[in-house]
Amino acid sequence: MTEWKEYKLGDLCTKIGDGLHGTPVYENRGEYYFINGNNLVNGKIKIKEDTKKVNESEYLKHAKPINERTLLLGINGTIGNVAYYKNEKFILGKSACYMNLNDEVDLNFIYYTLINKDFQNYIEEIATGTTILNVPLKGLREYSFKIPPLPEQTAIAAILSSLDDKIDLLHRQNATLEKMAEALFRQWFVEEAKEDWETKKVKEVCSVITKGTTPTTFGKQFKETGINFIKAESLTDVGGFIHNKFAFIDFETDEMLKRSRIQKGDILITIAGTIGRIAYTTEDILPANTNQAIGIMRVNNEIIHPYFLYCLFRTSEIRDDFDGRVVHSVQPNLSLGEIGNIEYKMPPKENLDSGMNRIIPLFQKKEKNQTQIRTLTTLRDTLLPKLMSGEVKVVNNVE
């Protein structure tokens, strides 16, 4: 049996440092992005619509000594997000740090160490601040954990990486399926819409347009596990859910909030703060509930398929429409009444059925992929702490 030895994270790195403490000079035409902790998503650097840029001169002024053995970690505000450095062009903000690993450890093994619950719990414990959490670099360097010899590290990481590769492939397939569905919808129901098609309001095809309530309104608190409770941060910018951003409530709280219980086929839209994120509800997230920052649209299936309304709300025309209906006060807000009053062109039944018969199978395939993603993710999340602690051994690892 191979011996696992204990190390501090700082001993396995040639350098641990954070990003720029300040604001760079932005340049819209710059080639380099200004990256923070919220740009680190599932092992990758994600560029968002509001991610700012700088020019080469500003980059050279603030560049950090990162390399092909660098991992990035969110340490301020959004803490715990981890990403590899893959030669992207960016400068780092103070809400992220970089770790340059030495040659004695496997890069992928340390990545899985950082996303493992032991490390994630550790940085939550050492984080300072009340409104904005901050993880001190000294605390990161002091994190102590056991690791096996290098060949076994590589073998463990390979198992977890193979699962992540399959999950990533399915996510990319789903993104392609959704783009195909949206392109077909746009062609048939937007670009080729006829003047004589009936104008309808959203509220005419929805049996329910409602929103939820925060459990604390009734003196209830969130739980460690239980019924999924979906917040605005649980929805992605590109349609769908971020499952690790769900909160949880118990059955008693769910009963008190039964007006906002989510059903399969419900279309959710963020209506406060971040406006316009859309998600289509599938069985894999149920049972679930939500709060007042999310509107629920429950389509009357006798009139249209829920996928029709989902695709409709993904079009630029509808998004421009409800953007114009947003009220800006303390925070942006879109009322349920305004959602219900949004108008669109309803195709005749023959056109509707013909188009949706091509679109629906694409979403059905996406749902099957999503089920497989959840299965693989559960398997990875189950194996991860067991492999990283040595509880589950790798068979035939290289000595």
Distance (Å, whole) CA 251 – CA 271: 26
Residues 80, 202 share a domain: no
Residues 334, 206 share a domain: yes
Residues 21, 102 share a domain: yes
| Residue 75 · residue 135 · CB < 8 Å | yes
pLDDT in tens, 183-203: 999 999 999 999 999 999 999
Is 12 inside a domain boundary?
yes
Residues 336, 232 share a domain: yes
| Residue 46 · residue 84 · CB < 8 Å | no
Distance (Å, whole) CA 154 – CA 64: 27
Q: How many domains does the chain have?
A: 2
CA-based nearest residue to 388, from 142, 166, 213, 147: 147
Task: Pull the structure tokens for residue 124.
Answer: 């939550």
Give the bridge partners for 5, in sequence order: 147
Predicted local confidence at residue 263, as pLDDT: 94
Is 248 inside a domain boundary?
yes
Where is the domain boundary, 346, 368, 388? 346
Domain residue limits at 139: 5-145
Predicted local confidence at residue 398, as pLDDT: 46
Is 157 inside a domain boundary?
no
Residues 209, 285 share a domain: yes
Residues 98, 212 share a domain: no
Residues 220, 327 share a domain: yes
Residues 341, 220 share a domain: yes
Residues 215, 285 share a domain: yes
Predicted local confidence at residue 399, as pLDDT: 44
> Rounded to 5 degrees, what are φ and ψ at 45?
-90, 120
Residues 93, 213 share a domain: no
Predicted local confidence at residue 396, as pLDDT: 58
Where is the domain boundary, 331, 346, 361? 346
How would you classify the pairing of strands 90-92 and 32-35? parallel
Is 356 inside a domain boundary?
no
Is 245 inside a domain boundary?
yes
Q: Report the greatest alpha carbon distance in the chain.
A: 76
Residues 342, 204 share a domain: yes
Residues 207, 341 share a domain: yes
Buried b (16+ CB within 10 A) or exposed e, 44-67: ebeeeeeebbbbeebbeebebebe
How far is C-alpha 381 from the geometric centre of its chain's CA atoms? 16
Residue appearing with tokens 């086929």: 265
Q: Which residues of the chain carry a pLDDT beneath 50?
A: 1, 397-399
**Please, what is the end-to-end C-alpha distance for the chain in angstroms?**
9
- For residue 226, the 8-state DSSP code is S
Report the CATH number at residue 210.
3.90.220.20
pLDDT in tens, 230-244: 998 898 877 788 887
Where is the domain boundary, 321, 346, 371? 346
Predicted TM-score (pTM) of this structure: 0.83
Distance (Å, whole) CA 397 – CA 153: 9
Predicted local confidence at residue 146, as pLDDT: 95
How would you classify the pairing of strands 294-299 and 288-290? unpaired
Distance (Å, whole) CA 4 – CA 146: 6
Name the CA radius of gyration of the chain, rounded. 24
Distance (Å, whole) CA 202 – CA 230: 23
Distance (Å, whole) CA 118 – CA 116: 6
Is 265 inside a domain boundary?
yes
Is 160 inside a domain boundary?
no
The verdict on whether omega for the bond into residue 287 sits within 30 degrees of 0, i.e. cis, is: yes
Is 191 inside a domain boundary?
no
